[in-house]
Amino acid sequence: MNDVKRGNKSIKIRSNTTRVDADVVPAFEYRIYTGSKNYDSSYVYHDGIKFFSDSGDLIVNYPRQHGENGNTKNTQTNHSYKKAVRLLKKINYELNEDGYIPSFLVECLAWNVPNSVFTQNYTYTNMIRGALYHIYHHTKNENAHLCDEWGEVSELLYLFRGHSKWTKKNAEDFSVKAWNYVGFD
């Protein structure tokens, strides 16, 4: 079937006259327990998903929390956060046909930029400049400790600790390349 193609992490289904493009990810339910109990003595947990890529990597994600947190930040920034994420992802893809870094990492980097960068800059140019500067300043070698607590959008996993296949250097390099691509001084 030409409309279905298996990728490393998802099954890609191409659109036709009766359906839209879709990525399907077969996954298992995954829970992380907090150690606390509810009023009915059941344990409190965060629900997520878990799957293995074709290359053998274990992927754990929390899509519900990711969506809720992203929507909240977008509301808090007068809908500038998601616009900035789209612009940063576009720049990322312009740097390399497949993206210089994974788009998920781009979104997580933007998540860790303070809301004020998105609300106090009145042009997209200044907003992107502020976001890239924040990412660079907090990930460059001598300041790398400043992003030790950065998390994924779900706020349930650290961005640069433990499980992560990304490094602070990846983030710093992206911010420099994006800055230069856009032509900031």
Q: Encode pLDDT of 45-103 as tens digits.
A: 999 999 999 999 888 999 999 999 999 999 999 999 999 999 999 999 999 877 789 99
Does residue 164 surpass a pLDDT of 90? no
Averaged over 116-135, what is the pLDDT? 93
CA-CA distance, 46 to 7, in Å (whole number)? Answer: 28
Mean pLDDT throughout 11-21?
Answer: 86
Least confident among 6-10, 84-88, 154-158, 172-176: 6-10
> SS3 sequence, 115-184?
HHHHHCCCCHHHHHHHHHHHHHHHHCHHHHHHHCCCECCCCCCECCCCCCCCCHHHHHHHHHHHHHHHCC
Report the C-alpha gap between 72 and 21 in whole angstroms: 27
Q: Which two tokens stand for residue 106?
A: 């781009």
**pTM, whole model, 2 decimals?**
0.86
pLDDT for 97: 75
160 has pLDDT over 80 = yes
Cα 34 from Cα 95, distance rounded (Å) = 40
Q: Are 142 and 135 in contact (CB under 8 A)?
A: no
Q: How high is the pLDDT of residue 121?
A: 79
